[in-house]
Structure 1
């Protein structure tokens, strides 16, 4: 999942170990630059591995060949950040086996990368990052908001609420914690900050609340990287209507239009969906909120009639029976309008 700490972990490992190798290189945001700058990425990699030497290559195939030559001769440590496709990997590193004393780390949002190495003589170990648990989330949030391991006095409850909203996503915890940093211990400042925290939480929990642009940008990359338009539309449909629904039911409803059977597999592989033990489709809250925002073009509306019926019953339970028909008609329209204001909207 975007924001889970892949790049942070890779950068930490790189900084701790790069001195043990002859040459090293950290190439970031490969997925972003690959389509329009493959030669540039190859030149950066070769320049790093050859100690800053100016590199001249006239074609991608020439660049791949030269990189393969370097990998055969030197003990290197390379990090390739944000790989989206096997072709990106083979273009940058080639397909020839290299000495085992060299190490390469790649970060990716894809889960089924074992298939990439089937025809290559490389040993691959996959480490799947897990999101933080409740205690870890609260601690990370507290470090950025209070410069301490635990919330300061008076902020315990709101800090727990904000940590729960982030759902264990380190980036969200860091960004939101830093944006609500409590700078002063003055009681007046503390009281003012409590109100700000409460207001921010209310905003995030409402349908009007917007994700921080940094968080949205990272999550949006996963959405934009989906190869097919139908897969993007499938994600939007699920985010707005089918989270928590049985996967077989969703496949039945959306297969003809959006090819849900294969599409759901792709979304799972890209860490945008999970399936629970009881076969329910699940999506991280931040991803769901990112997917629910969009343009002004409405494709669908979802109305929870249970809320309408509940409000109707509570309103008329003490009214004489002979007035029920008129009140029901009036209340149905009123409740419907209120509910429509709270609908989940699916955007194109």
Structure 2
């Protein structure tokens, strides 16, 4: 049977619909997206090109500007046009994923592959992944990064690269995104428009977090909105510091102290861990079962159902939380949480070889995670000690 014209288009449409229904591996993207279709057009056109001038596109922009969301949207839109596809997040913190991708690149070098590598900040990591790999001429790589100079990294290896500087939301789109998360619709509630316009000037992440924090309880009162506007306007700093102020205000206004503590626990100690394991560990102290739901609703933590049942959050939120822990002292011994390997070793050893008996003296210790160690002494004190 030979088909042509409208019949061909009809069959192609059916195939696309069936694929969309059957494909269970599409990435989850945030609700309330605005303006993303036009921002995806250029890169999508490049992905469809059979003879591109370059094999790599780097989506560049500061943290919270929407790079990952755009990359996920483009990936979902185009992955069916490639024989294989991979989307990797947090690659620098997941050696296993890095090795897995290396093996896939070697195995699939004769296939048309689409690879998206999210949040690359290190030239050596990029070089390890694609520096010496010979890919199919129509394979494509998308990178998201904060470094506008990344084209020089790629230029030093074997692929041509173009930089796509992310286009920020315009005033109308920013107001729409803020309104969606604050009011559940695309326009502000009556009486809130002028205040909303004053707040709708930050990057997408900040607008999501700010809108979510103002969507419940006292946040529905116009006095609360006016207070929020005044407090943010009082920050005499550049946009980066003001965005940090937006994020911190949202964590400071969490309804329970236990939820604020839970947010700091997750940011410092439990990112990448299975949510159910963390709930068991922190339920008694932080009411983690309900607390994680609150953090998800406030856009402070990613819903584990879309991140492999593991806890995740935006890098800006992680940095903000860790700065809160560090701000009172530069001495790790005075911090409520310690997560860096070198600082942990210094504190536990205290100039000597580490012994489990040392833990008895740590009266305020609530949780200790040890990796790649062997305990040769018994430890029965009722503290949460996890050995991996």
TM-score scaled by structure 2? 0.44
Q: Which has the higher helix share?
A: 1
Larger radius of gyration: 1
Structure number with the bigger relative contact order (C-alpha 8 A, sep ≥ 6) is 1
